[in-house]
């Protein structure tokens, strides 16, 4: 049995469903991210686990024990709030010690554990400061230390890095991963940042409109998106509507805009499908006439290109519609005719029975 289990968890608010029958199992020591756009129900899910919001239906089990009737202050979970919610009238050390005081842990032991945790988050020199005297990154570490010092079975992180600027966020991301690996606490993180979720998590659970769309390892979710939403939300993608045609010898073909493209992904039957093709999987051929004739290739006109430092983004108008291509060099300019080519394995079916 999994360590933390969410079973058909549902939360309804007057007229709307914030979370709909969400089921997710988290193993001990696992780092799972709840990822989705704002309003997808990820924060509500976190608050139900924390005990701040009561589920309308469904169960939460921690190590086999039903948490439904356990109040927030008896769950013993460590929580890092988006605003950090530090106690402004207490020093860093007092903030961290608070959870030990409520557990009536003796002073000597308390001091020892506070010192050890502050060392873990590399704040051992700042124990006497007040939160108002700290920078954003330091406050974030205090919040983390305060949640970890009680040695919680589960650590809940609510958008922990969203209040930091880009450079600091990168540093803290590394810190967060190091600390989580060190203590090995089972962690659930809520985030809307797909790069952050993929960099930190063992598994990513993508949510959309209160439902769990797909849960899996970052590589699996990115390479094999289960739905069009997941494909589009995790990085950028091109979605192509077409007709799937099963071949006799185990192959499949996508028919779109009157052209046939071989596909390794096989649907169960013939019919309309929506296919995802990642921009970085497409090869851009500056001179289409020089390219070998290939059934996996189309031609188009460059409508716009954007320089992104380490890459170029192209918008190419083709018979399949506007196709976005990401490549390392910017050899073709606006208005040029170019060829586009990809591997048959890069076409991923994300929706079957597409109409219209």
Residue 78 interacts with another protein (CB under 8 A): yes or no: yes
Residue 175 interacts with another protein (CB under 8 A): yes or no: yes
Contact (CB, 8 A) for 174 and 180: no
Q: How far apart (Å, rounded) are the C-alpha atoms in residues 80 and 172?
A: 14
Q: How far apart (Å, rounded) are the C-alpha atoms in residues 91 and 145?
A: 13
**Part of the chain binding another protein (CB under 8 A), chosen from 19-27, 120-128, 302-310, 330-338:** 120-128
Residue 13 interacts with another protein (CB under 8 A): yes or no: no
- Least distance from C-beta 101 to another protein, angstroms? 8
Residue 128 interacts with another protein (CB under 8 A): yes or no: no
Got the DSSP string for 145-211? HHHHTT--SEEEEESTTTTS-HHHHHHHHHHHHHHHHHH--EEEEEES-HHHHHHH-SEEEEEETTE
Quick one: which of 85, 246, 291, 344 contacts another protein (CB under 8 A)?
Answer: 85
- Least distance from C-beta 122 to another protein, angstroms? 6
In eight-state DSSP terms, residue 224 is S
Q: CB under 8 Å to 101, separation ≥6 — which residues?
A: 110
Choose between 139 and 281: whose C-beta lies nearer to another protein. 139
Q: How far apart are the first and last CA of the chain?
A: 44
Tokens of 192: 């809307």
Residue 89 interacts with another protein (CB under 8 A): yes or no: yes
- Least distance from C-beta 197 to another protein, angstroms? 21
- Least distance from C-beta 204 to another protein, angstroms? 24
Q: How far apart (Å, rounded) are the C-alpha atoms in residues 78 and 126?
A: 22
Choose between 167 and 355: whose C-beta lies nearer to another protein. 167
Quick one: which of 125, 219, 319, 328 contacts another protein (CB under 8 A)?
Answer: 125
Quick one: which of 21, 29, 59, 98 contacts another protein (CB under 8 A)?
Answer: 98
For residues 181-191, b (16+ Cβ closer than 10 Å) or e, as one string?
eebebbbbbbb
Residue 138 interacts with another protein (CB under 8 A): yes or no: yes
Quick one: which of 62, 150, 205, 349 contacts another protein (CB under 8 A)?
Answer: 150
Q: How far apart (Å, rounded) are the C-alpha atoms in residues 8 and 58?
A: 5
Quick one: which of 146, 169, 192, 208 contacts another protein (CB under 8 A)?
Answer: 146
Of 256, 206, 202, which is closest to residue 227 (Cα–Cα)?
Answer: 206
Residue 350 interacts with another protein (CB under 8 A): yes or no: no
Residue 281 interacts with another protein (CB under 8 A): yes or no: no
Site string for another protein, 43-62 (x = CB under 8 A): -------xxx----------
Contact (CB, 8 A) for 131 and 141: no
- Give residues in contact with another protein (CB under 8 A): 50-52, 71-79, 81-83, 85-89, 91, 98-99, 102-103, 122-123, 125-126, 129-130, 132-135, 137-138, 146-147, 150, 168, 171-172, 174-175
């Amino acid at each position: 049995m999994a360590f933390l289990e969410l079973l058909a968890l549902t939360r309804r608010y007057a007229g709307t469903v914030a979370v709909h029958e969400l089921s997710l199992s988290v193993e001990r020591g696992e780092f799972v991210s709840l990822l989705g756009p704002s309003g997808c129900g990820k924060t509500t899910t976190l608050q139900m686990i924390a005990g701040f919001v009561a589920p309308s239906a469904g169960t939460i089990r921690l190590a086999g024990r039903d948490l439904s009737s356990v109040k927030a202050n008896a769950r013993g979970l460590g929580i890092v709030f988006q605003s950090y919610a530090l106690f402004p009238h207490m020093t860093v050390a007092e903030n961290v010690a608070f959870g030990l005081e409520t557990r009536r842990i003796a002073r000597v032991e308390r001091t020892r554990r506070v010192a050890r945790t502050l060392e873990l988050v590399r704040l051992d020199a700042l124990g006497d400061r007040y939160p108002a005297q700290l920078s954003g990154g330091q406050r974030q570490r205090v919040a983390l230390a305060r949640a970890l010092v009680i040695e919680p079975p589960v650590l809940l992180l609510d958008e922990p890095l969203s209040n930091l600027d880009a450079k600091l966020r990168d540093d803290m991301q590394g810190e967060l991963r190091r600390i989580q690996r060190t203590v090995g606490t089972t962690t659930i993180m809520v985030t809307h940042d797909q790069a952050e979720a993929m960099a930190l998590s063992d598994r990513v659970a993508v949510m959309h409109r209160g439902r769990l769309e797909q849960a899996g390892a970052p590589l699996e979710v990115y390479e094999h998106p289960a739905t069009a939403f997941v494909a589009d939300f995790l990085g950028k993608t091109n979605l192509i509507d077409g007709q799937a045609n099963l071949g006799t010898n185990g192959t499949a073909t996508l028919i779109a805009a009157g052209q046939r493209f071989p596909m390794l992904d096989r649907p169960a039957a013939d019919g309309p499908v929506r296919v995802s093709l990642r921009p970085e999987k497409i090869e851009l051929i500056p001179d289409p006439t020089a390219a070998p004739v290939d059934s996996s290739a189309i031609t188009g006109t460059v409508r716009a290109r954007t320089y992104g430092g380490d890459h170029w983004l192209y918008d190419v108008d083709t018979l399949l519609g506007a196709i976005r291509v990401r490549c390392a060099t910017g050899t073709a300019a606006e208005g040029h005719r170019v060829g586009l080519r990809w591997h048959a394995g890069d076409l991923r079916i994300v929706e079957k029975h597409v109409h219209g």
